[in-house]
Structure 1
Amino acid sequence: MSADASNDNVQYPRTIFIRRHSVVTRLTHWLNVLCLSFLLLSGLQIFNAHPELYWGHYGANGDSAVLTIGSDQDGGTQHGFVRVAGLQIPTTGILGVSNVDGEPTPRAFPSWATIPSFQDLAAGRRWHFFFAWLFVINGVVYLGFGVLSGHFRRDLAPTAHELSPSHLGYEILDHARLRFPEGEKARHYNALQKLTYLAVIVVLLPLIVLTGLTMSPGVDAALPSLVDIFGGRQSARTIHFITASALVIFVIVHLAMVVLSGAWNNIRSMITGRYAIQEKGPQS
């Protein structure tokens, strides 16, 4: 057998491009990025107006708060702190006290983390409500597309095999070792991605929208049962804050995975829809 003939059986890696994301998925994704960014920054502005969280129907004072971001004065110096369930943690320079025009000023979240940067509750609420409704409309479009196109069933619904403890354990171990799917496996979301995206879509996002509506006096008047479902407006506010924090953690982990598994390839797929994978085939 000649050397050329034997080489025909050698499999070489080759790069091919697959269609990873539809136009609707890409557009709604980037609109979500915009909305969530403004919602977070304006939400911190609103929280700064009263940086304490309570449980139940009514808020009282710092002694009954489940979380407080505040400051106290010691010898003429402001010190920031976070108090969670009675445990107080010093946070000077990060939370509780910020430098405003070079002077330490009591402020839960610093000016660079809020919209607007100065303290203005009314402006923060206007920014928050505008992007909240845009976020809801965008979500409805995505959900409708996901159901009608089969995107949820085809791309996000895990199979029985993927939900088996052995398979999930294998994927968790691979992620811990920063080993990401290649070749044919890279064509689809893995089980951990599917479960995470479903948790965000089915649990976190509806919860943050419903608790946000519960804090609205107008919605409370029309749907008083919402207040009872969440155990009071203060409880809804606390759940809203916790859910928003969970979304921030999700975004941080999501961005880390994007970078570690190939930043440009992932970003390109969410802009153009084209995702590059390596497959084995004969050398051309």
Structure 2
Amino acid sequence: MTDQQSLPPQRGPLVYRQSIWTRLTHWTWAICLFFLLLSGLQIFNAHPALYIGQQSGFEFDNAILEIGAINTPNGPRGQTTVFGNTFDTTGVLGMSGSAEQPQYTGFPGAVTIPSYRDLATGRVVHFFFGWIFVAALFVWFLASLINGHMKRDIIPQGADLSGLPRDALDHARFRLHHGRRYSPLQKLSYFTVFFILFPLIILTGLTMSPGMDAAWPWLLDVFGGRQTARTIHFIVMALLVLFFIVHIAMVLLAGPFNELRSMLTGWYRTSPGTPTQEGDKP
């Protein structure tokens, strides 16, 4: 009798999971979001505060976030105020760098593009990659609509919603399945990113442009003013960063080689018993 322990582990079939359009736009977004985040923090440092309302906020008490530096009996300290609650953030926000060469900026130069104060360059970089980001989203939307990727893998169906609690529990227990298609939790996550977060960050970015406000004045009404749009823009950016962290964690847990192969070649190793053709029974 053959010793079961000596048998090689069973492997599922390889399936073609990601089209060339999905892969190209995926990596385009990854590059764009990197430069958009760091150049966006450079722009934010020009006035490191967020407000709610139509007013600019310089002489109004409507700030929900303020980052800066203050003088204390022990010397300058970094300070961050969130909804009226103040925290000492020396070394991270408001004041960073060495004791000999401190930086008095909202976010430290290590996480901004450029690393020194240069609002003009930051804006050029931000707008350049912003429009590439928008173009990639248009290409993805059109290609996904034509090849069925959007309906099949992104928009949750009734069965996905009913299976969401179990899938969320499996993810919480790190019981990850490798199927031909995205799981209910993946569909809901990607749907939120593509149809809520991406449109929000684009529209709020346009709302901060005086030229776009002149062409589309309804943007100011939709988002409650330019300052509110700036705050929403910042919050959505933070949510996208959180999504990225969770996304990378899931890639590492699910098997980075298999996940990277899927996004580089399109081929994905599924779990044993997965049908090789769409619609087949295992």
Q: TM-score, normalised by structure 2?
A: 0.90
Aligned-partner Cα distance in 2 for 1:46–1:197: 28
Question: Is 1:64 equivalent to 2:62 in the alignment?
Answer: yes
Q: Which has the higher strand share?
A: 1
Q: Give the equivalent residue in structure 1 for 2:110.
A: 112
Question: By how many angstroms is 1:35 displaced?
Answer: 0.5
Which of 167, 170, 183 aligns to 2:166? It is: 170
The one-letter amino acid of 1:232's match is: G
The answer (yes or no) to whether the contact 1:215–1:236 under 8 Å persists in 2 is yes
Question: By how many angstroms is 1:67 displaced?
Answer: 0.6
Q: Give the equivalent residue in structure 1 for 2:51.
A: 54
Q: Which runs of 5+ in 2 are unaligned?
A: 275-282
Aligned CA-pair RMSD: 2.1
Question: Is 1:229 equivalent to 2:225 in the alignment?
Answer: no
Which of 265, 268, 271 aligns to 1:272? It is: 265
Question: By how many angstroms is 1:225 displaced?
Answer: 1.0
Q: Give the equivalent residue in structure 1 for 2:42.
A: 45
Question: By how many angstroms is 1:280 displaced?
Answer: 4.7
Question: Is 1:34 equivalent to 2:31 in the alignment?
Answer: yes
Q: Give the equivalent residue in structure 2 for 1:196.
A: 189
Q: Give the equivalent residue in structure 1 for 2:280.
A: none
State percent identity of aligned pairs.
49
> Closer, same or farther in 2 for the Cα pair 1:163/1:280, shift >3 Å?
closer
Aligned-partner Cα distance in 1 for 2:13–2:49: 53
Aligned-partner Cα distance in 2 for 1:244–1:267: 24
Aligned-partner Cα distance in 2 for 1:221–1:236: 16
Q: Classify the secondary structure of the residue corresponding to 2:161.
A: coil
The answer (yes or no) to whether the contact 2:65–2:81 under 8 Å persists in 1 is yes
The one-letter amino acid of 2:48's match is: P
Aligned-partner Cα distance in 2 for 1:84–1:247: 20
> Closer, same or farther in 2 for the Cα pair 1:90/1:76, shift >3 Å?
closer
Aligned-partner Cα distance in 2 for 1:268–1:199: 25
> Closer, same or farther in 2 for the Cα pair 1:265/1:82, shift >3 Å?
same
The answer (yes or no) to whether the contact 2:32–2:130 under 8 Å persists in 1 is yes
Q: Classify the secondary structure of the residue corresponding to 2:66.
A: strand
Q: Classify the secondary structure of the residue corresponding to 1:255.
A: helix
Instruction: Provide the aligned length of Structure 1 versus Structure 2.
Output: 270
The answer (yes or no) to whether the contact 2:53–2:62 under 8 Å persists in 1 is no
Q: After superposing the two structures, state which structure 1 stretch, 53-62 or 42-51, moved more.
A: 53-62
Question: By how many angstroms is 1:60 displaced?
Answer: 2.5
The answer (yes or no) to whether the contact 2:177–2:271 under 8 Å persists in 1 is no
The one-letter amino acid of 2:129's match is: F
Q: Classify the secondary structure of the residue corresponding to 1:88.
A: strand
Q: Give the equivalent residue in structure 2 for 1:249.
A: 242
1:73-107 deviation line (CA, Å, top 9, x unaligned): 21352211221110112211111111169422211
